[in-house]
Amino acid sequence: MGALQAQDLTAAKWAIGARVPGSVVADIDDAIASRAIVRSWPMRGTLHLLPSERLRPILAITGPRELRRATTRHRALGIDEALVRHARAIAERELCGGRSLSRAELQAAWEAAGITTTGQRGYHLIWRLAIDAVICWGPVEARGQRIVLLDEWVPGPLTSEHREETLAELLIAYLTGHGPATLPDFAWWSGLTLTDARAARAAAGDALTGFDDARFVATDAGWPADPAAAAPRPRSGLALAAFDEYFLGYADRDPVCDPEYAARIVPGGNGVFQPFLVVAGRVMGTWRAGRARAGTTVELRAFDASSRLDPSVFSGSLRAWADFFGGSLHRVEVA
């Protein structure tokens, strides 16, 4: 996949679990604890889970661009380079030696040192230090994750010496997990420019194959040479996570969702994506879960009120979801 959007950590875990049959949530926690994957802000100013060895090379490319985008907001918040240096020194002092802090604890340390963290200043200082490859999210706890020093959690140099190679690797990974997709899709997903996307395509060479006039796939991803020969999509349904890449990971989402209904996944355009339902490759509605003593009740809601969803179509996916989180599925209802 290259990376998975992960501002909602629980949802991101299911985004992985839905793609790894038989997995459970502890497997994802173990992958984080072993530092195989890491959670930080590598692209678009948004949290992602990604392979740990990819974080630093990606930040070396995306970081400067993200900092330029944040200039106006940081100026409004009174965040300048002197303040960032002060905040960094405190963070390094509090976290060195393998220690970790919650977000609230780190902000409290800054407040004690005279750095105001209200009005999103604390969040933006954490984000800035992550973009500078100083900190990242580390150990998983019941309430979320704790902040650690990146140099101690995932040691390695911050480098952009092999820029084209990094771009090519990122595009290949993206198309392996998201293809068929266009270069504008990749540019949106990565937060990079179309110029960078074209450079990535050139550097990737034969590792990519044209799928049609605009879209590409990874050559080794198993796609048939003739797109018309692709196997039919299964009729069983999928209950996918909020922020899942199946919908979110593209600039153009029309191939998987009717434009008339796309806004239902992000109600109010507030950037908060809802869990959604997929049938035969198409996004058909949303779902939500409620817990009770008897177990979990899931409510399915179709985009088109005239087409009633069949709960049995999603039973396999929902059972896998319940098993993944160690729960029990009590009932599935259609709104």
The structure's pTM equals 0.92
Q: What is the pLDDT along the chain (335 residues), one digit of tens a residue?
A: 999 999 999 999 999 999 999 999 999 999 999 999 999 999 999 999 999 999 999 999 999 999 999 999 999 999 999 999 999 999 999 999 999 999 999 999 999 999 999 999 999 999 999 999 999 999 998 888 999 999 999 998 766 678 999 999 999 999 999 999 999 999 999 999 999 999 999 999 999 999 999 999 999 988 877 767 666 666 689 999 999 999 999 999 999 999 999 999 998 877 899 999 999 899 999 999 987 776 789 999 999 877 778 899 999 999 999 999 998 888 888 88
Question: Three-state DSSP class for 310?
Answer: coil
Alpha carbon 265 to chain centroid, angstroms: 16
Judge whether 35-153 and 163-229 match in fold: yes
Which CATH architecture fits 163-229?
Answer: Orthogonal Bundle (1.10)
In 3D space, the residue among 193, 267, 189, 194 whose CA is nearest the CA of residue 5 turns out to be: 189
Q: Selecting from 3.90.1150.10, 3.30.1490.20, 1.10.10.10, 2.40.110.10, what CATH number does the domain 35-153 have?
A: 1.10.10.10
Tell me the DSSP string of 78-111.
T--HHHHHHHHHHHHHHHTTT--B-HHHHHHHHH
Q: Residues 213-256: pLDDT tens digits?
A: 999 999 998 887 776 766 666 668 999 999 999 999 999 999 99
Backbone dihedral angles phi then psi of residue 38, each to the nearest 5 degrees: -140, 155
Domain residue spans of the chain: 35-153, 163-229, 237-334
How would you list the strands of the sheet with 329-334, edge to edge?
237-240, 276-279, 282-292, 295-302, 329-334
* H or E element, residue 43: strand 37-43
E strands, 61-196, are 135-141, 144-149, 181-182
Q: 93-111 pLDDT, tens per residue?
A: 999 999 999 999 999 999 9
Side chain identity at residue 44, one-letter code? R
